[in-house]
Amino acid sequence: MTNAPINVLLTADEVLRRSGYKSRSSLYRLIRQNRCPAPVSIGGNQIRWRSQDIETWLNALPLRTY
């Protein structure tokens, strides 16, 4: 048995909570700029983000040094 991470689908609100961004417009701006993973369509005009994509994105952000 492997220890593969479970890929959960996240809503926009969950992505905002995990990332620290405050508005959906900021999130969608980052997507347009290819600075954030794009969501996937799950049908019925609903979209979600793969949790693994979000975690990878957040872990790849550069650390700020002072």
Asked whether the beta carbons of 57 and 37 are under 8 A apart, the reply is: yes
Structure tokens at 4: 């593969």
Structure tokens at 9: 């689908």
Res. 4 pLDDT band, cuts 50 70 90: low
CA 51, CA 1: separation in Å to the nearest integer? 21
Q: Considering the entire predicted model, what is its pTM?
A: 0.83
CA 8, CA 18: separation in Å to the nearest integer? 13
Tens digits of per-residue pLDDT, 6-62?
A: 789 999 999 999 999 999 999 999 999 999 999 999 999 999 999 999 999 999 999
Integer CA distances (angstroms), 63 to 8, 43, 50, 58, 66, in order: 26, 36, 23, 11, 10
- pLDDT of 1 > 70? The answer is no
- pLDDT of 2 > 60? The answer is no
